[in-house]
Structure 1
Amino acid sequence: MATPFDPADLPTGILTSLSPLVHRVLAPNPSPFTYTGTQTYLVGTDDLAVIDPGPDDADHLAALSAAIAGRRVVAILCTHTHRDHSPAARSLSKATGAPVVGCAPLTLEDDGPRADAAFDADYRPDRVLGDGETVAGSGWTLEAVATPGHTSNHLCFALRQERALFTGDHVMGWSTSVISPPDGDMTDYMASMQRLLDREDAIYYPAHGDPIDNPQRLVRGMMGHRKQREGQILRFLERNGEGAIPDMVAEMYKGVDPRLHGAAGRSVLAHLIDLNGRGVVTTAGDGQWRMR
């Protein structure tokens, strides 16, 4: 369940120190799906990594330039290629000379209502980081942690010196992540969540929402939430024999703004695809689903 949306919660364009090595600048792109906006992180002191540079917005780029304050930028890292995360990488790279590294390029048009930003078709990294590969600067090392699910190319970045993890949209501080097929994959998402649960990170820095200082508890809760949704789907099909996604959404998301029901249907579809892959449900034709 998302935290109530209030774009005034945090000021945009202000450099905020969160730890000796981690600093944040909030982009001016608040919405019901980005919360207060995209949080761009600056890692380091003498030289810097910039994580999720955000939208290609002139005011945000000016704020980042002021925050960098002439220091050397070692790398510009992107967790994934939705347009609220990666487009500013191009302008920032041109201004600083730093390479764009991180996730692989991915452009995909899906056929359903979106509850997040569309893909950045112009993203061209200088280097794609594989799982476990690193970028380092003076006093810091960032390690790529592959976390597909929200998107197939999603990476988190682990800051070894502070046992911190930059989680992009995989784990957010205000809402569960959107899983929208065909690229969003519930099976991959749950496996990635289990991977994070097995780690020993002390704090998460998400792209949207507050830092998370008890991350394993939140991950367990989010996995439990997905299992509850799965249980609702199975009970619906067991009770009704078969059913279509709009009927499931109407029952499962009572009290939710009907304008969000299309996006909720994408999540239900992701669950059904996962359940089908596990041999639990199957399609029954004409948009209907049933138990196997």
Structure 2
Amino acid sequence: MNQASPGQIVRLEPLVARVLANNPSPYTNSGTQTHIVGTTDLAVIDPGPIDEAHLGTLLTAIEGRPVTAIVITHTHRDHSPLAAALKERTGAPIVGCAPLVLSDGGPRADAAFDTEYAPDRVLADGESVGGEGWTLEAVATPGHTSNHLCFALPEAKALFSGDHVMGWSTTVVAPPDGDMGAYMASLDKLMRRDDRIYYPAHGEAIERPQRLVRGLMGHRKQREGQILRLLRDGTGAVPAMVERMYVGLDRRLLPAAERSVLAHLIDLRARGLATEDGGIWKPAA
């Protein structure tokens, strides 16, 4: 697949085109990729952040054709905010994941969420939306966020994997909403599918998806093993663990690494393998 620049419309296969938003960052790679499905009538998956230039490119790609649905994988602000403006211009309903409002007493992650997201229809696991020659079936994949959905396109044996499986990096799993146990279960769910190709929201298409998913599961198991060894060695504070586990990491990504390690620790505690007291973690007795 050819890496595009913002503003380019790339045809990936007969039913799928891609448009890159101009929002590169350490967390989004080259930016958020919006996918357009269909030929006669269309679905637009993850229209992206509020950006008039990106909206203009999407309307150019749509070429006046009817839009059956604006489809959202999850409500991080680089994925869903442009949906409202696209709905206003096309009249298409917003469908997909549920709204997500966090209410917890711990460190909050909702600054990254689109609090104005208002779907016309929430899709449960296995429910679908379709048009002429295409169907998008919701595949519930919580973990990165509790409301995350992937979307299968059975006509092409393709899966739009959102941020659950990406083509450039491992997925951030950040408590309080991100859940490592749910993330691993969702990876296992994808392993049992036979999709031909994944189209992620960040990074290039994944042409051997089961191999990558197996590798992601192995990577997380390795991280878990590292954490358990550090606990046994007496390293119980998350920042200290990150310093030892992520040598050479871009300093801008340290907060995400700390949240990922915390997600592993919370999962280990739920499984009876770790305990915590005052922010210091220990192996369970």
Range of TM-score over shorter length: over 0.9
> Within the alignment, does 1:169 sit opposite 2:155 as a pair?
no
Cα distance, 1:254 vs structure 2: 1.4
Residue 281 of structure 2 corresponds to 289
Q: TM-score normalized by structure 1?
A: 0.93
What is the aligned length?
281
Residue 47 of structure 1 corresponds to 41
Residue 253 of structure 1 corresponds to 246
Residue 81 of structure 2 corresponds to 87
Distance 1:193 1:261 in 2: 24
Cα distance, 1:102 vs structure 2: 0.1
Distance 1:206 1:170 in 2: 8
After superposition, the Cα gap between the structure-2 partners of 1:109 and 1:59, relative to the gap in structure 1 and judged at 3 Å, is farther
> Within the alignment, does 1:207 sit opposite 2:179 as a pair?
no
Please list, as runs of the form range in 1=range in 2, the aligned pairs for 1:263-282 lying within 5 A after superposition: 263-282=256-275
Please list, as runs of the form range in 1=range in 2, the aligned pairs for 1:107-186 lying within 5 A after superposition: 107-108=101-102, 112=107, 118-186=112-180
Q: 1:14-54 CA deviation, whole Å, 9 max, x = no partner? A: 11100110000111111111111110000000000000010
8 Å Cα contact 2:8-2:20 kept in structure 1: yes
User: Given residue 220 of structure 2, which amino acid in structure 1 is its aligned partner?
Assistant: R
> Within the alignment, does 1:220 sit opposite 2:214 as a pair?
yes
Cα distance, 1:239 vs structure 2: 1.9
Cα distance, 1:200 vs structure 2: 0.3
Unaligned runs of 5+ in 1: 1-8
8 Å Cα contact 2:107-2:176 kept in structure 1: no
Cα distance, 1:260 vs structure 2: 2.4
Q: 1:52-96 CA deviation, whole Å, 9 max, x = no partner? A: 010111000000000000000000000000000000100000100
Q: 1:77-130 CA deviation, whole Å, 9 max, x = no partner? A: 00000000000100000100000000000133786597x970000000000000
Cα distance, 1:261 vs structure 2: 2.0
> Within the alignment, does 1:66 sit opposite 2:68 as a pair?
no
8 Å Cα contact 1:108-1:119 kept in structure 2: no
Cα distance, 1:243 vs structure 2: 1.2
User: Given residue 291 of structure 1, which amino acid in structure 2 is its aligned partner?
Assistant: P
8 Å Cα contact 2:26-2:253 kept in structure 1: no
> Within the alignment, does 1:38 sit opposite 2:32 as a pair?
yes
Cα distance, 1:253 vs structure 2: 1.1
Residue 15 of structure 2 corresponds to 21
Distance 1:66 1:263 in 2: 36
Q: 1:152-208 CA deviation, whole Å, 9 max, x = no partner? A: 000000001010000000000000000000000000000000000010000000000
User: Given residue 290 of structure 1, which amino acid in structure 2 is its aligned partner?
Assistant: K
8 Å Cα contact 2:224-2:264 kept in structure 1: yes
Among all aligned residue pairs of Structure 1 and Structure 2, give the percentage whose two residues are the same amino acid: 65
SS of residue matched to 1:18: strand
Residue 233 of structure 2 corresponds to 239
Distance 2:123 2:172 in 1: 23
Cα distance, 1:263 vs structure 2: 1.9
Distance 2:151 2:111 in 1: 21
User: Given residue 88 of structure 2, which amino acid in structure 1 is its aligned partner?
Assistant: K
8 Å Cα contact 2:108-2:176 kept in structure 1: no
Distance 1:138 1:151 in 2: 31
Unaligned runs of 5+ in 2: none
RMSD: 1.5
Distance 2:144 2:223 in 1: 17
